[in-house]
Amino acid sequence: MTNPAPAAPADAPRTQRPREQPVIEVMRPKTTTSPSATPTAADEARVAVRIRGLNAWYGDFQALQEIDLDILHARVTALIGPSGCGKSTFLRWLNRMNDLVPTARATGTVDLHGRDLLSRAMDVVELRQHVGMVFQKPNPFPKSIYDNIAFGPRLHRRIPRRELDALVERSLRQAALWDEVKDRLKRSALGLSGGQQQRLCIARALAVEPELILMDEPCSALDPKSTARIEELIRELRQTYTIVIVTHNMQQAARVSDVTAFFCEGRLVESGLTDTIFTQPAHEETENYISGRFG
Amino acid sequence: MTDRRRMIRTIKNRGFVVVCVAATSVSIAALAVLLFAVVKQGTKHLIGFDRAGVTADRAPQPPDEFTDLADVDWPALAASLETPALATLTDMPWRRLGRAQSFEYADEIIDVDWPAAADTLAWPELATLGTVDWDRALEVMTVPGFGRIAATWRNSEIGQFVTSPPSRRPERAGIGPSLAGTIWICAVCGLVALPLGVGTAIFLEEYRPKPRWARAAHAFVQLNISNLAGVPSIVYGIIGLTAFVQMFDVLGTPNDPWFTLGTPDAWYYLQVPFGRGVLAGGLTLMLVILPIVIVSAQEALRAVPDSLRQGSLALGSTRWQTIRRMTLPSAIPGIMTGSILAMSRAIGEAAPVLIICGIVFIRFLPQNVMDEFTALPLQIYDWAGRPQEDFHRVAASGILVLLAVLLTFNAIAIVIRQRFQKAMP
């Protein structure tokens, strides 16, 4: 790629890390090193989350090393890589779910609208209203379908019944589930099929109107047909939401994502336009991984 | 060789099943024998006990309590028995007489040494009462103030047993005060143990600290609570005696309390230290079952899948919102089952209550949480230890009532579990 490396947005206050710059150059090829080396299609997209120098540990084990990545607004970013490479850890730092792990800690900056998500002052509860999450295994609450969707909005304020009804319908429509469940909103969500449950979880995340949706292998527990529906849904949601998706399925990453980031052993090996990554990977490790020679 | 090994394997496999079936059968048989024995003994007292002469005519029941004697219409009785001397008993200081220990129960009026009582109370007319036909009088005497329903219930054999106070005579003995005492202390115990235990369980399970020292403290507390569940219950009795009854003697004595609220006959009467009352008994039982409640509630909370907690937290709920709206509702069936089973243990606990209240003879129902009380297991223990065989049957009847109470509790537990599980169609 011929893109010049230091094309950082002019207004970005890059106060930190003059010292660490060389380290990254050693670690990765220049073309993919710079977070701003994002592909042309994404050039006009603004950056939703800017991650700089993210290190993460579980106890003494370092799970992430010096991650620099820009997550683009209204785009789907796929995180790929072999198991244990830290992509889920990365994802779970974006909404601080790792706070639940007693030994987990992280350094660096994760910048969302000029606020550092990792800072102590960050209100995690408020953060999670802006950054929704969909888990690997569908985890509908043991409540009715309606109450599942209404759970999030109800947490934050008292909502009149009519408004809530509208919100539930809108969320279910967005998640392409409305037609299937509109007659049984009061029935238990546990009675839905796996694919429906996962779409319910997506609808539930949408109901709090987040800016960013994190998906941790959302299709790994689903059959191909349900997977196809979820992928279709992700493509639709891309228009309004910023989505980060962790996946083990290379085809899925190729199908749904605009940007792909390849993780290996806690490092971000390469990131760029999905087409580029899959056709002309700049790094040998990436090529080996996506061609199935390892991982 | 392989055939032999296969045979051995088969024998082991089959043998295992046989042992399991045998063990189950033995325990079922033991349970059946136990039930049979208790029912056989107990029903003798409850149903078909020969009470000729006492309950030949059900209608007018003799008064059970000597204080009831104050309410008897003595002049009418005098007329019906053609014994004018009885009319003088209207002015008898019955309560004072009771306190003077001339006699303890109404039916002992037969055995009162009337000339001696006349001397003690300086009331010469009493001496003539020695000639009264008291057996007949007891049958005719009626105690005013009972409604018809109450009378019917009291006059049925089971009703009579359950409501009437203990007596020197086995055929009259009932478990009213001890049943009431058990209900009182279990109410106190449950009201305190449930919030305390569930709160502790939530804290231990849901608020796991991050710093290393706090995690160590957390593990230490956890270990101790698990150990407490195995401490013999009589130990808790001693704790209850020093901590609740006497309050380490730093706040006066039970008879000379440091703090009182109301008078001893008010329903809200409270004193500190508590003395040997319902409150001390209930709190002691609370100590006994608290570790059980905590451990079972912890297990119920642990059984709630983490994915639900994470799902709730990921929607931007606080930890408390997650507990209140997600974890606790999911764990309620387990918590309730565990707590009610712990309560049934509290009902059957004799040792700690024995230390708090002792074997006391109580003919009154508790009126407030400071009142003296006795409990079912203690009453049964008392009866079973008496030499008369009739009392052993009474004890067996008491056991039947205790079992009925326990079964009721377990039934409630099952209903609650079913209801909460069915809450979701």
Distance between CA A166 and CA A62 in Å, rounded?
Answer: 45
Does B305 share its domain with B370?
Answer: yes
> H/E/C letters for each residue in B394-409?
HHHHHHHHHHHHHHHH
Q: By the 8 A CB rule, do A172 and A54 touch?
A: no
Q: Which structure tokens are listed for B196?
A: 């305390």
B307 vs A151: CB contact, 8 Å cut-off?
no
Helix (H) or strand (E) holding A50, with range, is: strand A47-58
Q: By the 8 A CB rule, do A71 and A38 touch?
A: no
Q: How far is B210 from chain A (nearest CA, A)?
A: 5
Mean pLDDT, all residues of chain B: 80
Burial of B326 (0-12, 13-18, 19+ CB in 10 A): buried
Residue of B315, B322, B328 best to disrupt the A interface, most CBs of A under 10 A: B315
Q: By the 8 A CB rule, do A251 and A258 touch?
A: no
Is residue B345 assigned to a domain? yes
- DSSP 8-state code for residue B63: P
Q: How far apart, in Å, do the first and last CA atoms of chain B sit?
A: 56
Sheet of strand A104-112, all strands in order from the earlier edge strand to the far edge: A61-72, A47-58, A104-112, A115-116
In this structure, what are the phi and psi dihedrals at residue A264, rounded to the nearest 5 degrees?
Answer: -150, 125
B56 vs A288, residue with greater confidence: A288
What's the mean pLDDT in B387-401? 86
Q: By the 8 A CB rule, do B61 and B155 touch?
A: yes
Of B209, B307, B316, the CB nearest to A155: B316
Q: What is the pLDDT of residues B299-339, one digit of tens each?
A: 999 999 999 999 999 999 999 999 999 999 889 888 988 99
Q: How far is A113 from chain B (nearest CA, A)?
A: 18
Q: How far is B397 from chain A (nearest CA, A)?
A: 46
Does B225 share its domain with B261?
Answer: yes
Using CA coordinates, name the residue in chain B closest to A200.
B311
What's the mean pLDDT in B351-372? 85
Domain that holds residue B98: 66-146
Shortest CA distance to A55 belongs to which of A79, A86, A84, A78? A86
Does B102 share its domain with B195?
Answer: no
B315 vs A144: CB contact, 8 Å cut-off?
no
Domain boundary among B146, B165, B198: B146
Provide the pLDDT for residue B71. Answer: 65
Provide the pLDDT for residue B290. Answer: 94
Does residue B62 surpass a pLDDT of 70? Answer: no
DSSP H stretches of helix in B315-388? 319-322, 328-348, 351-357, 376-384
Of B312, B326, B424, the CB nearest to A188: B424
Examine the predicted complex and report whether its ipTM is higher than 0.85.
Answer: no
Q: By the 8 A CB rule, do A135 and A142 touch?
A: no
Contacts of A127 in chain B (CB under 8 A): 316
Contacts of A187 in chain B (CB under 8 A): 425
B315 vs A208: CB contact, 8 Å cut-off?
yes
Contacts of B313 in chain A (CB under 8 A): 97, 100, 128
B316 vs A152: CB contact, 8 Å cut-off?
yes
Burial of A163 (0-12, 13-18, 19+ CB in 10 A): exposed
Q: Residues of A near B (CB-CB distance < 8 A)?
A: 95, 97, 100, 102, 125-129, 132-133, 135, 137, 139, 141-144, 151-152, 155-156, 187-188, 190-191, 201, 204-205, 208
Shortest CA distance to B63 belongs to which of B105, B96, B110, B114? B105
Pairing state between β A259-264 and A76-80:
parallel
Neighbour tally for B120: CB within 10 Å: 13
Using CA coordinates, name the residue in chain B closest to A103.
B210
Does B70 share its domain with B21?
Answer: no
What is the identity of the amino acid at A155? L
Strand partners, B341: none
Contacts of A95 in chain B (CB under 8 A): 314
DSSP H stretches of helix in chain A? 21-27, 30-33, 40-43, 87-94, 124-130, 145-156, 161-174, 178-181, 194-207, 224-237, 250-256, 274-279, 284-290
Does B76 share its domain with B34?
Answer: no
Distance between CA A218 and CA A253 in Å, rounded?
Answer: 12
Distance between CA B246 and CA A273 in Å, rounded?
Answer: 78
Using CA coordinates, name the residue in chain A closest to B312.
A152
Q: Rounded to the nearest 10 degrees, what angle do helices B176-206 and B278-302 cross at?
A: 40
Residue carrying the six token digits 């603004």? A46
> On the CB side of B307, how many CA atoms lie within 13 Å of its CA?
12
B315 vs A125: CB contact, 8 Å cut-off?
no
Is residue B253 assigned to a domain? yes
Pairing state between β A61-72 and A47-58:
antiparallel
Cβ–Cβ pairs < 8 A, chains A and B: 67
A155 vs B321: CB contact, 8 Å cut-off?
yes
Does B318 share its domain with B211?
Answer: yes
The CA R_g of chain B, rounded to the nearest whole Å, is: 28
A128 vs B308: CB contact, 8 Å cut-off?
no
Is residue B319 assigned to a domain? yes
In CATH, what is the architecture of A21-138+210-290? 3-Layer(aba) Sandwich (3.40)
Distance between CA B141 and CA B79 in Å, rounded?
Answer: 12
Highest mean pLDDT among A17-26, B49-58, B155-164, B396-405: B396-405
Helix (H) or strand (E) holding B257, with range, is: strand B256-257
Is residue B160 assigned to a domain? no
Q: Rounded to the nearest 10 degrees, what angle do helices A145-156 and A194-207 cross at?
A: 20
**Alpha-carbon distances of B337 from B144, B204, B227, B275, B413, rounded to whole Å:** 44, 19, 21, 32, 5
A97 vs B313: CB contact, 8 Å cut-off?
yes
Does B333 share its domain with B296?
Answer: yes
Number of separate domains in chain B = 3
**Alpha-carbon distances of A113 from A73, A78, A79, A295, B113, rounded to whole Å:** 11, 21, 22, 35, 98
Does B122 share its domain with B239?
Answer: no
B87 vs B354, residue with greater confidence: B354
Of A135, A156, A201, the CB nearest to B316: A156
Q: Which structure tokens are listed for B134?
A: 């008291």
Q: What is the pLDDT of residues A79-127, one digit of tens each?
A: 999 888 999 999 999 999 998 888 888 999 999 888 898 888 889 999 9
Provide the pLDDT for residue B358. Answer: 83
Q: How far is B421 from chain A (nearest CA, A)?
A: 10
Q: By the 8 A CB rule, do B277 and B181 touch?
A: no
Shortest CA distance to A226 belongs to which of A191, A175, A186, A274? A175
Strand partners, B259: B272
- DSSP 8-state code for residue A70: E
Provide the pLDDT for residue A50. Answer: 92
Provide the pLDDT for residue A115. Answer: 87
Using CA coordinates, name the residue in chain A closest to B318.
A125
Provide the pLDDT for residue B372. Answer: 87
Contacts of A151 in chain B (CB under 8 A): 312, 315, 325
Please list the ranges in chain A whose pLDDT falls under 50. 1-43, 295
pLDDT band at B127 (very low <50, low <70, confident <90, very high): confident
Is residue B163 assigned to a domain? no
Report domain extents, chain A. Answer: 21-138+210-290
Strand partners, A286: none
Contacts of A132 in chain B (CB under 8 A): 314-315
